Amino acid sequence: MKNALGREIPEYIEGYGVVRPFMGAFANYGMRERASVRLRSVKPGEQKLLATIDEALDKVGIKDGMTVSFHHHLRNGDYVLNLVMAAIAKRGIKDIHVAATGIFPIHEPLVEYIKQGIVTGISVNYISPGPVAKAITKGLLKNPAVMMSHGGRPRAIESGDLHIDVAFIASPEADAYGNINGVGGKAACGTLSYIIADSIYADKVVAVTDSLAPYPACPIDITQDFVDYVVVVDSIGDPGGIVSGTTKVTSDPVGLRIAKTAAQVIDATGYIKNELSFQTGAGGTSLAVAAEVRKIMKAKGVVGSFGAGGVTGYIVDMLNDGLFRNIFDVQCFDLKAVASYRDNPRHQAMSGSLYGNPHDKGAIVNNLDVMILGATEIDLDFNVNVVTGSDGTIMGASGGHNDTAAGAKLAMVVTNLTKGRLPVVKDKVTTVTTPGETIDVLVTERGIAVNPRRQDLLEKLKETDLPVKSIEELKEISEKMTGKPEPIEFTEKIVAVVEYRDGTVIDVVRQPK
């Protein structure tokens, strides 16, 4: 056979295989195959910049039944999810699956789309208490919501369990060819880690920005080879919404006492030493633990290996003080963290997959010494609930909870023994988020309980004057304070499925009566 240049080419070459003849320099641009999915490629000189979100929806071929994804690095300041979903709703599109890494009160318009059947499915790693969480709890969503972990979501995307048709990336700064960063522009939010898997594996990727930079938009967090289109809008969000009440050190005397005790436990068990790796949640008491650990590290002259996770200014201060050599950051929780990520090369981003994917070649959580966790409830088997509240209402999702608990050498839950005049320690938690086999210690203002699996820790703590008790004793103390609450009654309707980080179902959430 002859190719486009008239050269005689065999149809088959031994040791090479079937021959595809050259048909012109640009003959094979347009669509390419990947795992039975047709993906778009871009010719030299082809423009990616579009005028509106509507034009982007035309280009990606939005239709009923698609899965669209969003990320939450702007947290309660994000505008992009609402902008895109309003444009989709205006077209009369139905049966959309929203695969968002996080949902916040600002995303209240989703509730009406759920009622109208425009949105029939939601997958999420973190959901803040608010209108959408309440709507799911009430059973308004056609299909059960799927609660994932920060590591479980990229695992699902990479394995094909979660297929994304179109990823919309809130891009603080972008150029016209699709290079994106999170540190420039009007709405700088820091790392863009949670959308990395989407940018690689989604069929189509649309960068939505309010700050178009000259090419190339450096530094680059997501590169042009993963982005199909770029759309400029007036505003992608308010960076002030990154900060919330859950990202400030508690001023509550009880919380501060718990934090001091927790730091003493970490020290007594031998973890505050050179090369310490440490992560804390963004709750007030968890951050207070970080402040106490900082004091001990300074007093001992300890230099840790790294701080990790969603990063606040408190961890940044520890880096700047020389208490950690590095930071691994999956999400900036305040503007001080954003500035540090922008300016300090020792402050490194990590993708959600690198952070916590149990099926990759080595997640960062596997190298954690200490993880400080919160809890809505914990039971006598040390199972932890951070999904539902005392009335059965959805008020969260795993986030990195079960990822870090599985990886850390010391996974510690810090919490008040009672919340809202209800005991935190239960016979059985309402919803299991994190299995007890991965939780090591519970620290409360009334005492410390060690998981019987960790006799090594128990022996070390017995040598101290710290108030070590059994978890059964803590349960008894709390019930004397509050009384034993009546159990919540549920219907048979399943409103959410709670996936463990490996994709197995660890529990379900039923609609409260």
pLDDT computed for residue 35 by the predictor: 52
pLDDT computed for residue 80 by the predictor: 98
CB 263 within 8 A of CB 296: yes
**Residue 365: pLDDT over 70:** yes
Helix axes 335-343, 313-320, angle to 10 degrees: 40
**Residue 245: pLDDT over 70:** no
**Residue 12: pLDDT over 90:** yes
pLDDT tens digits, 157-196:
999 999 999 999 999 999 999 999 999 999 999 999 999 9
pLDDT computed for residue 57 by the predictor: 98
Residue 109 buriedness (CB in 10 A; 0-12 / 13-18 / 19+) = middle
The two structure tokens encoding residue 131: 């209108």
**Residue 244: pLDDT over 60:** no
pLDDT tens digits, 264-295:
999 999 999 999 999 998 778 888 999 999 99
pLDDT computed for residue 420 by the predictor: 84
Of 28 and 405, the structure prediction assigns the larger pLDDT to 405
Question: Residues 23-42: what's their mean pLDDT?
Answer: 67
pLDDT tens digits, 210-237:
999 999 999 999 999 999 999 999 999 9
- C-alpha distances in angstroms, 111 versus 104, 167, 238? 12, 21, 21
pLDDT interval class at 37 (50, 70, 90): low
* Rounded Cα gap, residues 168 and 164, in angstroms: 10
* Rounded Cα gap, residues 187 and 210, in angstroms: 8
pLDDT tens digits, 422-471:
999 999 999 999 999 999 999 999 999 999 999 999 999 999 999 999 99
CB 424 within 8 A of CB 478: yes
pLDDT tens digits, 303-352:
999 999 999 999 999 999 999 999 999 999 999 999 999 999 999 999 99
- C-alpha distances in angstroms, 57 versus 179, 204, 206, 224, 230? 20, 10, 9, 19, 12
pTM value is: 0.94
Q: Using alpha carbons only, give the angle 481, 484, 485 rounded to the nearest 5 degrees.
A: 115
pLDDT computed for residue 24 by the predictor: 86
Q: Set out the domains of the chain in order of their start, with CATH numbers.
A: 50-242 (3.40.1080.10), 253-488 (3.40.1080.10)
Question: Residues 12-41: what's their mean pLDDT?
Answer: 76
pLDDT computed for residue 36 by the predictor: 47
Where on the phi/psi map is residue 178: left (φ > 0), alpha (ψ -120 to 50), or beta?
Answer: left
Of 36 and 116, the structure prediction assigns the larger pLDDT to 116
Q: What is the mean pLDDT of the chain?
A: 94
pLDDT interval class at 30 (50, 70, 90): low
pLDDT interval class at 33 (50, 70, 90): low
pLDDT tens digits, 79-105:
999 999 999 999 999 999 999 999 999
